[in-house]
Amino acid sequence: MSEYHFPRQDAQFVLDHIVEFPLICDRLGQEELNSGLNDAILEEAARLGSEVLAPLNKIGDQAGAQMVECGVQEAAGFKAAYQQFVENGWPSLAGDPAYGGQGLPKTLSTAVMEIWQSSNMAFSLCPLLTQGAVEAVSEHASDALKKTYLEKMISGEWTATMNLTEPDAGSDLAAIKAKAVPEAGNYKIFGQKIFITWGDHQMTDNVVHLVLARLPDAPAGVRGISLFIVPKFLVNADGSLGARNDVKAVSLEHKLGIHASPTCVMSFGDSDGAVGYLVGEPHTGLACMFTMMNDARQGVGLQGLAVSERAYQHALAYAKERLQGTLRDGSRLAIINHPDVRRMLMLMKSGTQAMRALTYVAASQADNLEVLKTTGSVSDAAICQARLDLYTPIVKGWITEFAQELTSLGVQIHGGMGFIEETGAAQHFRDARILPIYEGTTGIQGLDLVGRKTLADNGQSLFALLDEISCELASLEVGEIFTQELSNAIEAEQSVRDGVDWLLSHKEEAPAIGVNLMMSLGYLCGAWLMLRSAGKAQALSGNTDTDPLFLESKQVSARFYCEHFLPRVKMHLQTMKAGSASMMALEIEQF
Amino acid sequence: MSEYHFPRQDAQFVLDHIVEFPLICDRLGQEELNSGLNDAILEEAARLGSEVLAPLNKIGDQAGAQMVECGVQEAAGFKAAYQQFVENGWPSLAGDPAYGGQGLPKTLSTAVMEIWQSSNMAFSLCPLLTQGAVEAVSEHASDALKKTYLEKMISGEWTATMNLTEPDAGSDLAAIKAKAVPEAGNYKIFGQKIFITWGDHQMTDNVVHLVLARLPDAPAGVRGISLFIVPKFLVNADGSLGARNDVKAVSLEHKLGIHASPTCVMSFGDSDGAVGYLVGEPHTGLACMFTMMNDARQGVGLQGLAVSERAYQHALAYAKERLQGTLRDGSRLAIINHPDVRRMLMLMKSGTQAMRALTYVAASQADNLEVLKTTGSVSDAAICQARLDLYTPIVKGWITEFAQELTSLGVQIHGGMGFIEETGAAQHFRDARILPIYEGTTGIQGLDLVGRKTLADNGQSLFALLDEISCELASLEVGEIFTQELSNAIEAEQSVRDGVDWLLSHKEEAPAIGVNLMMSLGYLCGAWLMLRSAGKAQALSGNTDTDPLFLESKQVSARFYCEHFLPRVKMHLQTMKAGSASMMALEIEQF
């Protein structure tokens, strides 16, 4: 059994020194968090994660979910764990206090979510998707719908799902065919949805489905999609549960990973139609969906960090134990002492630290936005929102791709044992493989980055990010020992800037080069934040109660990141500038 | 069900124009192969692969192998397929004619082996390992042992295994504990071996185990290991099978992939000792093992090519069928038309082509060596042998790592369907994951490259390879359209050369930098051979009966390779030159 421990020291360092979370709390008027409450929350979450969720991770992988007569039966132990999770108030952490939420900052709830996702990614997908649905309902639904649904979704008493994909409509949402027919002031929903995560289970009394469908008068394409709430059980006026709605899970997928997370084929309206309630205005489903999805995309990026961290801990424990090679005195050597194993561990360690820094920075941007919405100018808030939007495809795209490499290294460090399922290293590798696919593939993230996030504003918000990176690197005090790393990072930033200029003068190349630009930007952001970390660690050395061994390791980790990952920035850009000519040159018959 | 078709056009192009196989046949005195026999052999192998082995690939993945009373039961259909495989004479293709082999060139048997490994990697591991054992027995065993075992191993009537690993001795063979006790002119073997591929099955009457063990007077470490033949059934003087030997499979591993290939825990000497026969001199087991393993390592590299090719064909078929997105006229677009999907397909296409070129070039080196052994000088043969030895860690290390990326792209191209096991794309990804682990991990290949293959001869054979690459690139006639690619490749070659110089003056860094040097060399070799391909394709254009569409696509593929993979050469070298300082800086407590 692999144990999981929240990497408290690194997370705390990122919170305190990279995103300056205490300052955010002050600005949000939540100063009380700084007097020990943040720490207490993280400590409690870490305990639940390690003691309750983590031990279920392998059990869930082996048992999976099953179709039974009443619907989908989740793996043994999951219901009790979920009930404890709800009773302890974890789902409501960042929820709106008007609906029973605790209104805590997004940065904090992100750190807590890292714990859930590392402990048990398959389990924690359920609250992650519910949170996305909460965002969509909060922002777009009528007060009546909010009154009926929001409180129980925020508390976790009910879970929620995102019903987008259909057999012919995956990345191409324009092809959605599910129908919504007006009836008795509401709607009847008909259609089939696939790949619905946690589409059914027995952990809660009700499941709230958010469903994209077309009204009868809908225009073709994405401008004709509307969003509906379709509960598993109808809700009476007094809030009690009524009749079973005409929606059910009809089958489960047999997947490569996240076995404990039921991936359902959902059927709506097999009998007389599933009762649905319109969220927002007709035909604005795409916007509502993006509210839900942008939150989920950041969450999936966080999963990439979380599963990499878990894989790292797993591999590290093995590397400390496994003996191979003998010293002259006859004693045997743990493989962590072999340079190539050390190389792989350092790749995992420095890589997850960079992921964590970027994920928390992106989350803190949401809190900054909250502050600006009340105290800032409209234009400052807009700039902040644009930065948050820009981070989304980087967090989702770069981190989830990066997680493929890091979880694979976790297997490799185990040698032959890594290929044996019993060891558990392979589970993280299998689980991670979904991350660059769901909630918008890496290709879709690339398109989002170059299209909506760059060409749409002529590069303005991307240049603003690069300006910030460039200014910070130019003034960073990391001493002589980082001269080379700093100069490489400055050069890398300049390369990305050139790359964006190239894109702006080669707009027609955008669809072909998105992924390479995104990857280069991700590795650059990682270097920027790791160098910031090195600077902070140096500044803290000697005059602080922070563990000096940790501060030293943080600098080593930053240097290693710059040596091993920073060169990738230029590599991706060089490839990017080759454009699409050879990519698109062949006729289909030539493949 | 995914179909498999041998990529005949590309393989033929590599054989005819990259390795000049017709010339090799002439030099080997096997001119008759050039008059249609080679073609006929490949055609027949392709048919058996597509029609018999490929359909069993998914069946084997789902069924796996099982422990039954008599030992290990392979998946349904495998025995009949194996019998057909043997009856058609496939195992003996490259075998020594003195023992019933067909004595065909290694280059040809490698192309044929590609077919087996693409069709069904789990099945084809069995003949691959038998072939390695044949090499070891041919080179090191007494005539008496050869007479008893070799003919039936070459014919495939009996299969063979490699018994190296023990629970405490994986990469560290010095730790081997299995014992060999002299008795009645032979030996009794005692001990446990793990991870024994195809350690038992019911496809043949006998299984010949090659086992590393220690004699009573053996010195400690790797210089005290001897190699033994331990048959499952003893063999009578007349060649008939005698008593069951005291060796058996005691359990099977539950693995991430290659489910149909039984991975056994083997127990030797549970009763009164397993009868074993010494191969070669006492305490020379390591050398015998390397004969076996070097062959197997090239075979595993070939598996990397083969499974990538299979994954590519799988993804390509899906990309042509799957519709997402709509054109203005209302017709829907196959995803192969989307630039990012095209990018992934081209990565897979050009990547597998580069792998194939290098694999066949390495195989042809073995044939060149045969020629030189009879007609060349001793020093020419030694140079040729050194080149062959140099290729081994590149073929094994680079190709199997590269295969991780390409098979993962195969999943990605399928989108959500790629994560569903039923689709089959995930099998290739799972199967491929063993390749950088078995027969020496990637780390071990890196050590082999920098140690035995570079530092040991002061870089001589590596510089000879770089000289050849450099000369060829300088004189390559690929026309103006390849100016940029050529100049980048020349620059990349110079970077690798600088890297080797750096290594020679930083010998103490060797253990830390092997993998990065190996990867840079692999990508460089790929570019070299792809540019050679582009040149040949240009030269053939217009005055040949080769398909002009193929010749054009070969040039496009070469260009794409240079744009997308060549920049990695410098990236790996830049990282390499950072050395081990940050890698080894942390105390174990700081992880």
Is B549–A587 a contact, with Cβ atoms under 8 angstroms apart?
yes
Residues A114 and A189 grouped into a single domain = no
A439 is catalytic: yes
Instruction: Specify the residue for token string 């050369």.
Output: B497
Residues A144 and A185 grouped into a single domain = no
Note whether B523 contacts A: Cβ–Cβ < 8 A.
no
Give the distance, in angstroms, between the CA of residue A293 and the centroid of all CA atoms in the same chain. Answer: 10
Residue A93 has pLDDT above 60, yes or no: yes
Q: Is residue B425 part of a domain?
A: no
Note whether B171 contacts A: Cβ–Cβ < 8 A.
yes
Is B175–A434 a contact, with Cβ atoms under 8 angstroms apart?
no
Render B384-432 in DSSP notation, one character per residue: HHHHHHHHHHIIIIIHHHHHHHHHHHHHHHTGGGGGBGGGSHHHHHHHH
SS3 content of chain A, % helix, strand, coil (to 5): 60, 15, 25
Residues A456 and A486 grouped into a single domain = yes
Residue A356 has pLDDT above 70, yes or no: yes
Is B437–A419 a contact, with Cβ atoms under 8 angstroms apart?
yes
DSSP 8-state class, residue A209: E
Domain CATH code at residue A182: 2.40.110.20
Q: Is residue B406 part of a domain?
A: no
What's residue A480's pLDDT?
Answer: 87
Among B125, B222, B400, B419, which would you mutate to test the A interface (most chain A Cβ atoms within 10 Å of its Cβ)? B419
The beta-carbon neighbor of A255 closest among B421, B442, B443 is: B421
* Residues of B (526-555) whose Cβ lies below 8 Å from A: 549-550, 552-553
The beta-carbon neighbor of B582 closest among A325, A421, A559 is: A559
Domain boundary among A134, A155, A176: A155
Is B408–A404 a contact, with Cβ atoms under 8 angstroms apart?
yes
In angstroms, the CA A471 to CA B505 distance is: 38
Residues B127 and B221 grouped into a single domain = no
Domain interval for residue A572: 450-581
Note whether A222 contacts B: Cβ–Cβ < 8 A.
no
Query: In b/e form, how buried is each residue of A252-283, taking b as 16+ CB within 10 angstroms?
Result: bbebbbbbbbbbbbbbbbeeebbbbbbbbebb
- CA distance, residue A385 to nearest chain B CA (Å): 28
User: Mean pLDDT, consecutive 10-residue segments, chain B of 591 residues?
Assistant: 90 97 96 95 98 98 97 98 98 96 97 98 98 96 97 98 94 94 96 98 98 96 96 97 98 98 98 97 94 92 98 98 90 95 98 98 97 93 97 98 98 98 98 97 98 98 98 93 96 98 98 98 98 96 87 98 98 98 97 96
Q: Which amino acid is at A401?
A: E
Q: Which amino acid is at B413?
A: I
Confidence band for A576, pLDDT divided at 50, 70 and 90: very high
Is B172–A324 a contact, with Cβ atoms under 8 angstroms apart?
yes
CA-atom Rg of chain A in angstroms:
24
In angstroms, the CA B255 to CA A130 distance is: 34
List CB contacts of B54: < 8 A, sequence separation 6 or more.
B2, B3, B4, B118, B119, B120
Q: B481: nearest CA in chain A?
A: A582
Catalytic residue among A309, A439, A485, A493: A439
Is B338–A254 a contact, with Cβ atoms under 8 angstroms apart?
no
Domain CATH code at residue B37: 1.10.540.10
Give the distance, in angstroms, between the CA of residue A414 and the centroid of all CA atoms in the same chain. Answer: 27
* Residues of A (347-376) whose Cβ lies below 8 Å from B: 349
Q: Is residue B330 part of a domain?
A: no
Q: Which chain B residues are Cβ-neighbours of A503 within 8 angstroms? A: none
Total count of domains within chain B: 3
What's residue A543's pLDDT?
Answer: 77
Q: Which chain B residues are Cβ-neighbours of A397 within 8 angstroms? A: none
Backbone φ, ψ for residue A426 (5° rounding): -65, -30
Q: How many CA atoms lie within 13 A of B540 on its CB side?
A: 22
For residue A576, count CB atoms less than 10 angstroms from its CB and return exposed for 0-12, middle for 13-18, buried for 19 or more: buried
Q: Is residue A73 part of a domain?
A: yes
Q: Which chain B residues are Cβ-neighbours of A256 within 8 angstroms? A: 411, 419-421, 426, 429-430
Residues B151 and B164 grouped into a single domain = no
Q: Average pLDDT, stretch A314-326?
A: 95
What's residue B203's pLDDT?
Answer: 98
How many CB atoms are located within 10 Å of the residue A30 CB? 17
Residues A21 and A69 grouped into a single domain = yes
Q: Is residue A299 part of a domain?
A: no
Task: Tell me the average pLDDT of chain A.
Answer: 96
Residue A292 has pLDDT above 90, yes or no: no
Residues A103 and A147 grouped into a single domain = yes
Residues B165 and B230 grouped into a single domain = yes
Domain boundary among A155, A185, A216: A155
Residues B143 and B37 grouped into a single domain = yes
Residues A513 and A463 grouped into a single domain = yes
Domain boundary among B261, B283, B305: B283
- Check: CB of residue B504 under 8 Å from CB of residue B459: yes
Q: What is the pLDDT of residues A384-410, one digit of tens each?
A: 999 999 999 999 999 999 999 999 999
Q: Is residue A560 part of a domain?
A: yes
Q: What is the pLDDT of residues A480-506, one digit of tens each?
A: 889 999 999 999 999 999 999 999 999
Q: Is residue B411 part of a domain?
A: no
Q: Is residue B208 part of a domain?
A: yes
Q: Average pLDDT, stretch A508-522?
A: 98
Q: Average pLDDT, stretch A314-332?
A: 93
Q: Which chain B residues are Cβ-neighbours of A420 within 8 angstroms? A: 253-256
Q: Is A458 helix (H, G, I), strand (E, B) or coil?
A: coil
Residues A63 and A82 grouped into a single domain = yes
- CA distance, residue A13 to nearest chain B CA (Å): 15
* Residues of B (16-75) whose Cβ lies below 8 Å from A: none
Residues A179 and A264 grouped into a single domain = yes
